[in-house]
Chain A
Amino acid sequence: MLGRGLKRKLSDYEENMAGLSSAFDSSRSLPYPLKRQLVLNMCLTKLQTYKMLVEPNLHRSVLIANTVRQIQEEMRQESNQQPVNICPGIASSSHSYTGMESSAISLQLPSGISQQESNCCDLRSVEDPIENSLLIVSDDDMSSAISSILKDLDFVEDISPPTCLVPTGDDQPKFPENAGLKLEDDRQDLKGAECVFGSFEISNSTSYLKDLAIDDIFEDIDTSMYDSDFCCPPLMPPRSPSLATEEPLKNFPSCNSSSASNIQICRTDLSELDHIMEILVGS
């Protein structure tokens, strides 16, 4: 329940805004920066109000945001130029815009404002109460107000698929399936993402390498002679020796195990191997 005092203040605010707008419309003597400030404040008030709605009107929000940007740009250009002798009283104050707090301001509009002469200095008595009520807004506040409004509008879960996982360009129709829920689209997105990165994997060309164990690769290469003196037993029984040497080869133990007890056997094997080699080479 609104307290009576607060309600009166709000309706005062509305009346004063209406009064200010009609002053804007009817008075030729309001200086331009003041008019601009008034419009800016109205824009920001509206944006703040929309922000409190569950579903702000996108069309209106965009139009108001554009107006704010336009004013912002204009003010930025002005401040970049040489300082213009603007009317005293419209100095940039340290106030920052605080949105709904402005509703607590009480205005005292001088009654004769629409009849004022278009002379800046004469308006000083008029400006001050107005200027006190119009809060000067910083650039950052404006930008953040716009950004947050538009970002909030994006909260609306989008049911159409995002543009281009595959480069659609101009020749592929977009099929927004009426899945309805973003969950499904997320799944599709993930699948799509996988597809995109799937093409970068080398799995297709080199899969046979992955499938084989290291042992299998070197199956037919006997590196026992090049192994260390401590001798790892050859990984596999060598297959290359000719028939003439088969008999002594049979005496070789199975080379599968690599236990330490095989070291003795290895040494014996090696000397006999040397012997066989001598025979083979015919030395």
Chain B
Amino acid sequence: MMEVVDNSYPGFQFSNFARNENLVAKGFPMPNSRKTGTTIAGIVFKDGVVLGADTRATEGDIIADKNCSKIHYLQPNMYCCGAGTAADLEMTTQLMASQLELHRLNTGRQVPVVAANRMLKQMLFRYQGYIGAALVLGGVDKHDSHIYSIHPHGSTDRLPYTTMGSGSLAAMSVFESRWKPNMEAKEAKQLVRDAIAGGVFNDLGSGSNIDLCIITKDGATMIRPYDVANVKGQRQGKYEYKRGTTEVLSTTVRPIQIVAETVKKVTVEEMDTA
């Protein structure tokens, strides 16, 4: 007898937990959630912030999407890079974007970046880490330029440079050796590009292209792709066979002859809903 799923409580249902554990013990393979593998990074530079991300989405060992967008829009002055479970990231950032827009309309002024940070961490903490979203939130508001790293359990850090995802260590090694305060825009973009490239080439969960998003007090510029790091190879020649390669020795045409024509009425059968 099937149990009716209780829809009265919002949030995650854990009623199937015991059954799932039992199935795993018996050898049933749990379906892989689509993760983003990922290298994401963000830095504060002289005029604002630069966010960067790779573009590979993995489903276990397979690349599910070669060119997915990991820099999500929140507000005209705020973007958010996401690492972790792809679905959770998409839904969380879209939810946040609408909440922040409502906030902006409600207050009548530009939303401060701390507001997004606070709203994200309150939501993620409420779900106790079950929403697998690790975020690098960056934005510029009337107070300052901000970069926040937000972890799935709801802790946040405000930092001048940060990385997240499986390629975060490779990207962080670039930042630790080359970050300086008050960098120029060109230098900052190159640094973030190099950090993501470190992740793309040294981490198997990250790959394909590098996207960049530069946010200053004048607005945000999304550059997608900033760097096509992995170009698909060009075919060296044409491999099709030329017409006439196979010699035609003789041709016979036999048309289909219509012998008889009958008309049969098709009755509609009712679907068996017993």
Are these two chains actual partners, yes or no?
A: no
